[in-house]
């Protein structure tokens, strides 16, 4: 099997807080990230697909197809948005790990439905110090 990774970017804002917690508890858990004014990140998204190489194309999955799926399901709906307001994050705290899981769950069935590849991993790069991955172990 071959694993192929493609990188994307999108800017978005979020607040890290749980509405069920007190302000003090949110502050204790999330610190400055709980500030209700929110803050932005230029998120990096790494999407890895795995499968056999198609001998006719030399590819695991057509790059154009993967780009279109990521654009339709992730970049367009999430770019320049307040993530906490999106349906995909309803009832969730949009941390890097939750974003990785949500993006994985959005993409995985669509990748499988369109060919012989499957989604192996989604990695979210939030800051130079903070990344999260969801999917199969490397
Ligand atoms: Ni943040």
**What is the 54 CA–ligand 1 centroid distance (Å)?**
39
Q: How far is the CA of 13 from the centre of ligand 1 (A)?
A: 7
| Bridge partners for 9 per DSSP | 44
Distance between CA atoms of residues 96 and 50, nearest Å: 23
Q: Are 63 and 6 in contact (CB under 8 A)?
A: yes
The band of 5, judged by pLDDT with boundaries at 50, 70 and 90, is very high
Mind telling me the catalytic residues?
Answer: 33, 80, 126
pLDDT band at 137 (very low <50, low <70, confident <90, very high): confident
Q: What is the pLDDT of residue 104?
A: 98
pTM of the model: 0.96
Distance 71 CA to ligand 1 centre (A): 22
List the one residue out of 110, 105, 125, 116 whose CA is nearest residue 50.
116
- CA 130-77-81 angle, to 5 degrees, is 60
């Amino acid at each position: 099997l071959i694993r192929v990774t493609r990188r994307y970017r999108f800017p978005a804002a979020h607040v890290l807080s749980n509405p069920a917690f007190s302000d003090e508890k949110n502050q204790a858990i999330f610190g400055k990230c709980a500030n209700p004014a929110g803050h932005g990140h230029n998120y990096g998204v790494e999407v890895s697909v795995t499968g056999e190489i198609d001998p006719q194309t030399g590819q695991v999955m057509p790059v154009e197809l993967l780009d279109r799926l990521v654009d339709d399901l992730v970049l367009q709906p999430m770019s320049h948005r307040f993530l906490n307001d999106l349906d995909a994050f309803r009832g969730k705290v949009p941390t890097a790990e939750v974003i990785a899981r949500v993006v994985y769950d959005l993409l995985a069935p669509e990748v499988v439905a369109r060919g012989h590849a499957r989604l192996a991993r989604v990695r979210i790069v939030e800051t130079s110090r903070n990344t999260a991955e969801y999917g199969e172990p490397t």
